[in-house]
């Protein structure tokens, strides 16, 4: 696994993947070329604060809100890093479209934010305009749960001196590992449920699952793609493939309840569900055994992209080049895992300020490097949380 993570770090330094949640059909806006070349901000703010030194800052975080489990934990986890570095956290939770993402960036910048971060889940059309805004206002920025699919946009932001980089998950490995865990739980004949069409995040998870299934001799029977009614679609699949004893949900984990109901109503009590994306009733399903593995807990993508932007603002960037950080999913396979997650990550701080200061910020620990930072990030797991908190995993 460590060899794989090392390889991922090397690969992640090149932006050639895809945005989380896919793109949309909007044409990206092109920044006004008339503004000329932008000077590199360097690491000095005019002499008032020396380069490479902690200083006050306001951090602007853009998301869709905090009504769901992922949104809530994402906002909280971003604050872990901001508080560890001594900054002020400001959130705009109105971004449910590319246009609203741009508007949120404008609001945060006008409100005095020195650093902002966002995700391209609503499409990449927001990226060029936000880049332009940040350059005009000398605001550092990062993207979480994102890599860019449009090469022209990537080339453009690579020239932006205020763009630091991105963080995303290794979708392929997560899909592969999930199928392995499903096999260990007894899965032999699997129906795949995809939540969308031509969404790279979803496709990469499925590619990993299919490769694991081939190696393990598991039968991949059928694909359900973007169903309007998950339960009805699963019921129809079980009629066509009565031998099915497992379902791989490549996303929309909340639909695990509907898939479970379809198995039960088909008279099957011994089945395996593996899914992505945490949901509020996952604890109950892990406890009764109807859910065997669930991937999520990637709220730390907010934590670590905050680290990236803050370090640049402090004048201690972890790389002079744009870079991407690979974050593991937090995978739950038991109710005990769920309880530990709730106590120390969902309702508590998985990392203390001291842990983040010593492992993420050169202003607190000069020995921090990009490589050591990625290694620290890569340890994210239930076992890692348990070890640091003195709990049992």
Please write the tens of the pLDDT for every residue from 109-152. Answer: 999 999 999 999 888 999 999 999 999 999 999 999 988 888 99
Q: Which fold has domain 186-291?
A: Rossmann fold (3.40.50)
331: its two tokens: 């995978």
* Residue 229: CA count within 13 A, CB half-sphere: 8
CA distance 54 to 297: 29
pLDDT at 2 over 70: no
pLDDT at 102 over 50: yes
pTM over 0.85: no
Where are the domains positioned within the chain? 10-24+56-170+298-329+347-389, 186-291
What is the SS3 assignment for 231? helix
- Confidence category of residue 50, pLDDT binned at 50, 70, 90: very low
CA angle 154/204/382 to nearest 5° reads: 100
Continuous H helices in the chain: 2-12, 69-84, 98-110, 126-137, 151-158, 171-184, 200-216, 230-240, 256-265, 282-288, 300-314, 335-341, 353-360, 370-378, 382-389
CA distance 195 to 208: 16
Strand partners, 293: 274
Q: Which of 17-26, 171-180, 255-264, 317-326 has the lowest mean pLDDT?
A: 17-26
23: its two tokens: 């793109």
- Confidence category of residue 241, pLDDT binned at 50, 70, 90: very high
Q: What is the structure's pLDDT at 188?
A: 98
Q: What is the structure's pLDDT at 280?
A: 87
Work out the number of other CB atoms within 10 angstroms of the CB of residue 312: 23
Please write the tens of the pLDDT for every residue from 255-268. Answer: 999 999 999 999 99
Q: What is the structure's pLDDT at 256?
A: 97
Q: What is the structure's pLDDT at 122?
A: 86
Ramachandran category for residue 186: left, alpha or beta (phi over 0 → left; psi -120 to 50 → alpha):
left
Please write the tens of the pLDDT for every residue from 60-70. Answer: 999 999 988 88
Strand partners, 165: 142, 323
CATH class of 10-24+56-170+298-329+347-389: alpha beta
pLDDT at 91 over 90: yes
Residue with tokens 């979803």: 202
What is the SS3 assignment for 217? coil
Q: Which of 4-18, 93-107, 225-239 has the lowest mean pLDDT?
A: 4-18
Q: What is the structure's pLDDT at 393?
A: 67
């Amino acid at each position: 696994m460590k060899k794989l993570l090392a390889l991922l770090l090397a690969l992640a330094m090149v932006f050639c993947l895809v945005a989380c949640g896919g793109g949309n059909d909007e044409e990206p806006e092109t920044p006004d070329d008339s503004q000329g070349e932008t000077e590199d901000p360097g690491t000095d703010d005019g002499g008032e604060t020396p380069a490479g030194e902690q200083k006050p800052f306001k951090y602007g975080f853009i998301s869709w809100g905090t009504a769901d489990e992922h949104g809530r934990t994402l906002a909280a986890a971003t604050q872990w890093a901001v508080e560890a570095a001594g900054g002020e956290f400001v959130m705009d939770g109105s971004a449910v479209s590319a246009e609203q993402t741009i508007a949120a960036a404008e609001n945060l910048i006008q409100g005095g934010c020195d650093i902002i971060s966002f995700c391209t889940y609503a499409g990449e059309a927001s990226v060029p305009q936000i880049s332009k805004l940040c350059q005009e206002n000398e605001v550092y920025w990062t993207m979480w749960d994102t890599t860019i699919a449009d090469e022209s946009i990537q080339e453009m932001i690579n020239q932006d001196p205020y763009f630091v980089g991105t963080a995303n998950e290794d979708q392929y490995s997560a899909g592969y590992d999930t199928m392995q865990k499903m096999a260990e739980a007894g899965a032999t004949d699997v129906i795949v449920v995809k939540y969308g069409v031509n969404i790279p995040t979803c496709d990469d998870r499925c590619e990993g699952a299919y490769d694991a299934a081939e190696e393990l001799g598991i039968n991949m029977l059928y694909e359900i793609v973007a169903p309007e009614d998950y339960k009805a679609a699963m019921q129809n699949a079980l009629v066509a493939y009565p031998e099915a004893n497992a379902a791989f949900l490549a996303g929309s984990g909340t639909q695990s309840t509907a898939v479970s109901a379809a198995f039960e109503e088909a008279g099957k009590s011994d089945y395996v569900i593996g899914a992505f994306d945490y949901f509020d009733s996952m604890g109950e399903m892990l406890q009764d055994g109807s859910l065997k593995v669930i991937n999520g807990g990637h709220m730390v993508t907010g934590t670590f992209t905050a680290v990236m932007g803050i370090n640049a603002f402090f004048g201690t960037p972890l790389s002079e080049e744009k870079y991407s950080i690979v974050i593991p999913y937090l995978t739950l396979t038991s109710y005990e895992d769920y309880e530990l997650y709730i106590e120390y990550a969902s309702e508590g701080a998985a990392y203390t300020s001291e842990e983040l200061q010593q492992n993420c910020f050169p202003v607190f620990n000069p020995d921090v490097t990009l490589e050591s930072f990625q290694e620290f990030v890569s340890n994210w797991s239930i076992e890692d949380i348990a070890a640091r908190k003195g709990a049992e995993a």
